[in-house]
A and B are shown apart, each in its own frame.
Chain A
Amino acid sequence: MNSSTLFNASLVFYLAATVAYFVYLAFRNEKVGLGATLVTAVGFVIQTAAIGLRWRESYDLGYGHIPLSNMYESMVFWSWSIILIYLVFERIYRNRTLGVIAAPLGFLAIASISIAPNISQEIEPLVPALQSNWLTVHVITSFLGYAGFTISFGVSILYLILSAEKRKDGFYIVGMASLVTMLTLFAATILDFIVQKVAGVAQPHLFAASFASHAPGVKLVSWIAAVGIFALFWYVGTLYHERLAALFPGLRILDDLSYKMIMVGFPLLTLGIVTGAAWANYAWGTYWSWDPKETWSLITWLIYAAFLHARFTAGWRGKSTAVLSVIGFAAVLFTYIGVNFVLSGLHSYG
């Protein structure tokens, strides 16, 4: 047995948990709810074991480092963090509503990284700069923070979609666009996987089988499909508005849950930035060098700082803060993934 077998097993559990949480939401059956929690917890234990096993495997290879050092490992840890934050939250607030957001996100994070092309799943040796205990603290705090923001983002999308009265509501369009963007990105990743692994055509970059294809036809069809899905969801979303809204707790509770998650994420992100600065100072003698990753983490921090002030002091509620949460999460995604692919800097290793 190796760690990737265990990672696959945890995937199965998270997928099952997703289904269970939706069933729970639909029928409000406490037994189903308890089952969903149990399945998630078992998946979490398996994933934890998988991370531990991967850690040990790195020692067997003669490298010996905690598995938090490249894109694959950090994505797995992101998934782990989302589930952890959610389980703790469920325990404290005795509320299972967010399971329908946390379980699929936990699933998606590992699933998409397992199939993305050009992402090495190998255990790599660490360059000297990364050999530090600060690495562990920095990555763990940052990703737990990201996880809080991720759940808040999910809740905010729900809020924007469920609070809409009319299709032309700008907030509703933002919510639907976010949801459809996530869905199409996921679909595009799967398409890449099929083309690469099943059809055996090497992919030069991400989304080469869809949005970023060299064949204009494929590119066009992909964009038309994405717009089509958006139009369909956008139309259907209000048609079944009442039935959808009945599945979830009231809007006030969603609003509250979203901001509670940001209250978890913000201090953790702060700690992540501070430990990153301390580490940089210890390794290079510079606590802040305006490298793109650092700057983007600061941009993310500023957006959530704006969110907190808007909500606490200026009294914003509901749709406007939900939009800020969506923008904040876009910044999180760019800080974490976008910077690595689009910009260059010290963090180019993951």
Chain B
Amino acid sequence: MQGESPHVVDEKQPPPPAGPEPAVVSASWYDPLLKFFSSVHVAVVTLIILASISIIGTVLQQKNIGDVGDNLRLYQEFFGDAGRAQRAFDISERIGFFHLYQTWYFYALLGLLSTSLIVCSVRRLPTTWRIMARPKVDLEESGFKSSPNRRTLSLRLPRAEAAAVVVAALRKGGFGKRESERDDALFLFGQKGAYSRLGIYATHFSIIMIFVGGLLGSIYGFKAYMQVSEGETSNQIMMRGEGNRTATLPFQVRCDDFQVDYYPGGQRPKDYFSKLTVIDKGQEMLHERIEVNSPLQYGGIWFYQSSYGDTGRGLKVSIRAVDVKSGAGHDLSFTGNEILDVPGAGVRVQMQRIFPDFARDEMGRPTSRSNQPKNPVAAVEVLLPDGTSKQFILSKLYPEKTPVSGVPVDLTFTDFSSIQYTGLQVVYDPGVWVIWAGCTLMVFGLWFAFFSSHRRVWVRLREEGGATAVVLAGNANKNRESFAEEFERLGDAILAVGEARG
């Protein structure tokens, strides 16, 4: 350990002594271990090893997020030989390269880092604390001489009055005050921003908190998936990463409605929503509409909108038929290939086929790309009174492209729906609040460690033939340029007030 505080930024000038050096602790069996873990070299090497080993997991597909089979193809490309690729693949699998961040050695590295953080902090905190809480007030002459900022003033005032001037200036500058007397001299000491020395400890502690939060989540939490169709209720979830084991929630979730909005053009989903109801012990506890980036929480369990799809069941198509002569309109509602009567017009309409996501194949035949209602088109047949019939194609999104003519009714495709299902990510993670507390602490800790500084001023007042000699010294552990200016201003202020009174 070097210097007065291990994490002081850029402490090049020797600081004034800040109290007696800590006594050397008697040697014991664990001393070499403590020395090892508190070594900054060990910490830096651990960081570099962690960084390097993490790269492997970004190049090779990992079990939880990708297809491990891709790695074999990657090896084949690399080795150009199927046998060697297979061998490399087997070895990689055995040493855990496909779930790198869950291997024992990755955890061991995190453990090494944590131990290093804890040992460093515990060993260094007492010294830092002494600097902050028990500063040496009656600085020696050598301390004044070696200080990076010093100034000597002579005030034509008795010592007590000069001291009052200095104390007032210190207080105005935001410096807390302590005093002490030795060898006919009065010593004053002021400091501010001492807590900035704790920033680095807060940052280190926050990393431990994040590790603890992650452990809590992986031990006591779970991640699962559930699928609920519109109108249905479920409490069955499928656990992730455990061979798709199913489990039962202590309450039920009903999907009241599911909806997708598309961007203009109709292909790219803009938003998707599920209206959910939580039913606990037979009672409806909560109604909420969730979407991506807006989850629902009940009983500590979070539900995230994750996917959706069409069940292909419960098709419902609405066509509006308007009698060309009378102008009377009727809504025809189809659930299959039924034939419906248009009252008063003397014609009947049969639903022939529905294309939820209409397109034409390479032969120009109508087809549906998917079950998603992205571009619904209905093929209908109008049965005329004379026994003949005419076929029409009706588009819901582009009605102007599919005009109906030559029959006594005008047809418009007004509504299309079928039963959708919503896919929900179900998460319980009791560690997440520890994580956020840790992250917040880290950000504040870094702020204090980097951007605030511990500023100290020592003053010695000694009566010298009717006047008082005031010697000022000061230093800051960071941002020295701005402290040098502050120190100058402090001296100027003392001088100005002292001369005005003297």
Chain A residues close to B by CB (< 8 Å): 62-63, 125, 127-129, 131-132, 134, 263, 266-267, 270-271, 274, 277-278, 281-292, 295-296, 298-299, 302-303, 305-306, 309-310, 312-315, 331, 339, 343-345
* Set A131, A271, A298, A345: member contacting B443, Cβ < 8 A: A271
**Contact between A63 and B443, CB atoms less than 8 A apart:** no
Chain A residue at smallest Cβ distance from B45: A306
Interface residues on B, range: 35 or more
Contact of A284 among B41, B425, B451 (CB under 8 A): B425
* A286–B223 touching, CB < 8 Å: yes
Contact indicator B427/A290 (Cβ below 8 Å): no
B47–A305 touching, CB < 8 Å: yes
Q: Enumerate chain A residues within 8 angstroms of B101, measured Cβ to Cβ.
A: 290
The reply to whether A314 and B41 contact each other, CB–CB distance below 8 Å, is yes
Question: Measured between C-beta atoms, what is the minimum distance from B70 to chain A in Å?
Answer: 9
B47 x A62 contact (CB < 8 A): no
Q: Among residues 30 to 63 in chain B, which have CB atoms less than 8 Å away from a CB atom of chain A? A: 40-41, 43-44, 47-48, 50-51, 54-55, 57-59, 62
Q: Which of B1-15 contact A (CB under 8 A)?
A: 2, 6-10
Q: Is the CB of A295 within 8 A of B443?
A: no
- Given A63-B263, A125-B270, A315-B2: A302 in contact with B48 (beta carbons within 8 A): yes
A211 to B48, CA, bound (A): 31
* B439 pairs with A343, CB closer than 8 A: no
Q: A270-B442, A285-B302 are contacts. A128–B435 as well, Cβ < 8 Å?
A: no
Nearest chain A CB to B136 CB, angstrom units? 24
Task: Name 23 interchain pairs, CB-CB below 8 A, sorted by A.
Answer: A125-B268, A131-B292, A131-B293, A132-B293, A267-B446, A270-B442, A274-B439, A282-B295, A285-B302, A285-B304, A287-B432, A292-B58, A295-B54, A295-B57, A298-B51, A302-B47, A306-B44, A306-B51, A309-B43, A309-B44, A313-B6, A331-B51, A344-B66
8 Å CB interface, B175-205 against A: none
With A63-B263, A295-B58, A298-B54: A309-B48 Cβ-Cβ less than 8 Å = no
Report yes or no: B293 in contact with A278, Cβ–Cβ below 8 A: no
A126: nearest chain-B partner, CB-CB: B270
- In the assembled complex, the Cα of A62 lies from the Cα of B263 at a distance in Å of 8
Contact A266 B446 (CB under 8 A): yes
Residues on the B chain within 8 Å of A290, using CB: 57, 62, 64-65, 101
Q: State the Cβ distance, B292 to closest chain A Cβ, in Å.
A: 4
Interface presence of B450 (CB below 8 A): yes
Most buried by B among A278, A299, A303: A299
Q: When the two chains form their complex, are residues B48 and A283 in contact, meaning their CB atoms are under 8 A apart?
A: no
Query: How far is it, in angstroms, between the C-alpha of A282 and the C-alpha of B293 when the chains are bound?
Result: 6
CB distance from A92 to the nearest CB of B (A): 9
Most buried by B among A278, A298, A306: A306
Query: Is B447's beta carbon under 8 Å from chain A?
Result: yes
